[in-house]
Every structure is written in C-alpha cells, then in structure tokens.
Amino acid sequence: MARRSSTGHERVSEAPIPAAQLDAAFPKLKLPIVPPYPPMEAKLVDEIPTGARWQYEPKWDGFRCLVFRDGDKVVLQSKAGQPLARYFPELVDAVRALKADRFVLDGEIVIETDGHLSFDDLLMRIHPAASRITKLSKSTPATLLVFDILLDSETKGSSLVKESLEVRRQHLEAFFRSIRSTRIKLSPTTTKLTDAERWMTELAATGCDGVIAKSLDEPYLSGERAMRKIKRIRTADCVVGGYRMASKGGAVGSLLLGLYDEDGKLNHVGFTSSFSLAERKKLKAILEPYEGGEGFTGNAPGGPSRWSTERSAQWVPLAPKLVCEVRYDHFSGGRFRHGTKFLRWRPDKKPKACTYDQLSGAKGRNALNKLLAA
C-alpha cells in the first residue's frame, strides 16, 4: 500500500505484521519473574494528583516494554505480552553489553528524531523482513527509557515487586550509576508539582502527551491500573481546505484540515467529523460559498482505500478562507494521527498564520533533548 510521507513523496510500506505471528515463544528464564508478565498500567484522570507522596514522570509516546535478562538470554516484552526483540536488535545488543546480567526493567521504547519522538518510525519496525529491520536499527536507532525495576542483580535474585516505588526507584538509580549506555537511559522523575506542570506544556510538541503520576508508597501492581495518567489537551488552528459528504443523508461528513509549510503550500494534515446530525446539515450552507477554490496546494487528501467507498473518497475543494480550532491527541509524520474534535470557528485568525510552528516549537525540542541527555 502506498503512503504519502510528510515530505510529499510516495513511499511504499506494507501493513505491520502482529508480533505474535512472527516470533517464537519466549525462552525459558530462570528468574522469579518471567514473560509474559502483565505490566502495571495507568488510569486516565483529569488533573495531576497532588501531595507529598506522588512521583511524576513524562508520559512517553512509544512502545511499553519489559526487559528480562538472564545471562545471555534477553527478552523484550510488549504491553500486550508479545515478543519485541526481533524488531529492536540494537536494544538487545545494548542490554547484553551491560555489566549486570540478571534483572527485569520496565520502560518505554522510543525513537528520537531532531528533538521529537517519532511514533511513525517505531511502527516501521514492525516488519516481516529482517533486512529491513537491520537497516532501520542503524538509520533510526531506538532508545529504551527505563522508569522501574522489578528485579535487580544486587538483590541476589529476589523480586522487588512487593517493595514500594520509593525503594524500587533507589534500586533503579543505583543500577544506572553502574552503567553507561547510549541506548538505555533512566527516565527522569520529579516530586515537584511545578515540574510536572511544566512538562505538560514544554514537552507537548515533542511527542510526550502528558504526565504519569505514581504513589511512592505502592508496590508494583502487575496488570492493575494503579498509576495515573494525565493527558494535555492540545489544540491547533487549521485551514479548512475541503470537505467530504456523508455516505447518506445529504449532509457534510467531515472537514479536511490543512496547515501551511515553509514554502507557503497548504498541506492536508487530517480531518474532523465530531458533529451532530443537525450540525452536519448546517455545515453545507457555511461551506458552499467557498466551493471551487484551490483547496490544498501541497499534499492533498488521498484517493479510495480498501475501507472507503467511491463516494466517501471524493472530496470538495474549498478556497482557503475558513479557519477552525480543533483538539487533537497526537501529531506525527506530518498528520494528526487520529481524527480531531472540532472546537470552534476562528474568524479572527488569518489562514496564512496556520502553520506547523504551533505544533513543534523549538523550546519543546530543546526541553526534550535536555531531559534525554541527563
């Protein structure tokens, strides 16, 4: 299936293959904790919890990963309990290079590019061709950001899951004092609410989508939603470059969103369809005066896919005059990864002011680089 990249060129990629279909079963390990082992999970809440016994961490946008090492045996396990080792050989090599030879770590696999975490590059790794994975492991190497330790060589083989987070963090920091690795790094933490609030804003444009809060008094609760995750509400002002009709009913189905690049081209970056039936019918009258305009002058909406009908793949170009504000969760690869939520029209906003700069400021990139270099 052909996909258009953020640079506007066509790239050919195959649909990701589920890990369970490609990898053999986990090897047998002589550890008190063995895969598949359900990681502790987080419950979404609206506000950052406060108090003296909370620890805060950036919410990384990557693949959750448990790392098991038993001598020469290294296992990378996904959140869903699937093997990940074949997709990240550079991390397997980095784990084997560590002096400690019996441990279990909990962390996140990320790929950092120019001060931004690239989820698209992570998805490219889930590929059936070993040659492709080897090539990507060198051109876009991954990093493991570790935020917990479940088994430490220094504990003489005893599990740490019943210990409090405060104790586990002490073990984890001691673990990292004895190692030096460019591919395995300690994820930063803070107990200061002001730091967590700053991360919510500074890191929003870098691929971090919020903050994780953990109680310093709790043990590692495998499979339970014992942590708290707080997602930042992100908004962007976009030009409406076109629209698609609904499959039936004669109403507007979705607005097609655009942003201007450095060359002044309006690129299609996603859509919004969060309208009630009554609102969809009213939209047609709002959009009609702008029909027949140039629409997108850069990357344009794609044609039919295996999921779309001929009608749903058609779109109507508009003159780039209308600006709306939308809420989104992730932006990567030059697009909003999921559909956005329409918030309001912005008649006070000039269309040419709707650029990519609002999504990826230099301040955020510098903040991420500083955190990862620590």
Catalytic residues: 59
The one-letter amino acid at 124: M
Contact by Cβ (8 Å): 326, 258: no
The DSSP call for residue 318 is: B
Contact by Cβ (8 Å): 325, 346: yes
- DSSP alpha helix (H) spans, 60-187: 89-96, 119-125, 130-139, 165-177
Q: How far apart are CA 204 and CA 361, in angstroms?
A: 9
**CA 22, 72, 183: angle at the middle one, nearest 5?**
75
Q: 218 by DSSP, 3-state: which?
A: coil
| CA 173 to chain CA centroid, nearest Å | 26
Q: How many residues does the chain have?
A: 374
- DSSP alpha helix (H) spans, the chain: 19-22, 89-96, 119-125, 130-139, 165-177, 193-202, 277-287, 310-313, 362-373
* Strand-pair category, 184-186 with 143-151: parallel
